[in-house]
Amino acid sequence: MPTTYCCQDCSYQGHNFRQGRCPACGSANISRRNKSDTEKPRGPLSLIICIALWIILGATLIRRFF
């Protein structure tokens, strides 16, 4: 199981952090994450928000044309 590392300073995520430092910002403030944490499927809430945003966008466009 590959381990994902996450930088606490710039939120960079990667599998290979050389010398325990973030390749993006050089910070040593790194947390280790399990695969099960990072590849969590999106809950239904994010899908509902996405649909709601499309409805708002559609309603805005309809109001402009009618």
Q: Which positions lie near Zn ion, rule CB under 5 A? A: 7, 9-10, 12, 22, 24-25, 27
Bridge partner residues of 4 (DSSP) = 33
Contact between 33 and 3 under an 8 Å Cβ cutoff? The reply is: yes
Closer of 38 and 46 to Zn ion (Cβ): 38
Nearest approach, Cβ of 40 to Zn ion (angstroms)? 22
Closer of 29 and 34 to Zn ion (Cβ): 29
CA distances from 10 to 28, 30, 31, 63 (A): 11, 10, 12, 41
Nearest approach, Cβ of 63 to Zn ion (angstroms)? 44
